[in-house]
Amino acid sequence: MKIQEITVKSVMTKSNLPVSDFSVNPYVGCSHACSYCYASFMKRFTNHPEPWGEFVDVKQWPELRHPEKYAGKEAFFGSVTDCYQPCEAKYGRTRALLTQLQGSGIRISIATKSDLVLRDMDLIRTFPDARVSFSINTLDEDFRKEMDRAASIERRLAAMKELYDAGIQTVCQMAPIFPGITDAKAIIEAVRDRCNLIWLENLNLRGDYKARILEWVHGHYPELDGLYQEIYTHGKRDYWSALDTELRAYAAAEGFPYVWDDDSKRSDFGGTADHCELFLP
């Protein structure tokens, strides 16, 4: 793992994401090395010869001036990195930024696969409507180990529970859902007592990791070759439509509001959308 410190003018980047005004990434790269990481495209801009997942640049920036200017805005921590990957324990860049923003009135949303986030509960709970999301797309630890080097599923679930019990909003990001592998209802049952929202997102294979994922599925689940070819070679949506119908019925039976993303002319999770949301009472 190559880790180096770099200097940047600012860590607050204006965001094009509909969920936030600013994207916050205290690191470039991520040692979690998720096999399906959409952020791997960042390697094009880093001049790193190392593979994605084998380098991290630690950002150093000038202390924020007049943080009160961010009042009423929202910052998303971790759009293309995990702010609580292992090197955060040493460098503390995420905690440094939270400290600089404390009392500014900005809202924060944090996405992670690490229970290191618990270290900063004291700071997170001081932000209005703070939200922490954990990526959990399997309860199978063997599958998890094949896909990433992050904290175990057990540790993620425990951290989610601790934050939830402390009154901090929590989200389960069931992302991405691997067709025929991810057991969506089992995950919902595992998190229903420790999160406020479940975000479901389908596996969207693109770029250089498409071939790698398809090869991995063939090697471990050859019986799913046909399904993955239907979805990712022929563009068929039957699997997602069936899953959408199943989860919609499940949510109705359990009394969970089930909301689909209809932005950008996308109709529903089973049609053309990439994700849907399930709210827990």
**Integer angstrom CA distances of residue 43 from 37, 38, 54, 79, 84:** 12, 11, 11, 14, 19
Which of helix, strand or coil describes residue 3?
A: strand
Distance of CA 125 to the CA centre of its chain: 20
At 102, list the tokens. Answer: 């404390």
**Range of lowest pLDDT (22-26, 43-47, 240-244):** 43-47
Are residues 182 and 174 in contact, defined by beta-carbon separation less than 8 angstroms? yes
Residue 146 has pLDDT above 90, yes or no: yes
Element housing 254 (H / E): helix 238-254
Tell whether domain 135-204+237-281 is in CATH 3.90.550: no
* Lookup: tokens for 140: 């199978």
How far, rounded to the nearest angstrom, does the alpha carbon of residue 188 sit from its chain's CA centroid? 16
Least confident of 74-88, 109-123, 228-242, 263-277: 263-277
As a whole number of angstroms, the distance between CA 212 and CA 217 comes to 9
The pLDDT tens digits for 72-119 are: 999 999 999 999 999 999 999 999 999 999 999 999 999 999 999 999
Q: Please tell me the predicted confidence (pLDDT) of residue 281.
A: 56
Q: Which of 72, 129, 71 is nearest to 104 (CA)?
A: 71
**Which residues touch 210 (CB under 8 Å, ≥6 apart)?**
232
pLDDT tens for 38-71 read 777 777 778 888 888 899 999 999 999 999 999 9
Domain ranges of the chain: 1-129, 135-204+237-281
Cα of 205 vs its chain's centroid, Å: 16
Q: What is the mean pLDDT of residues 151-160?
A: 98
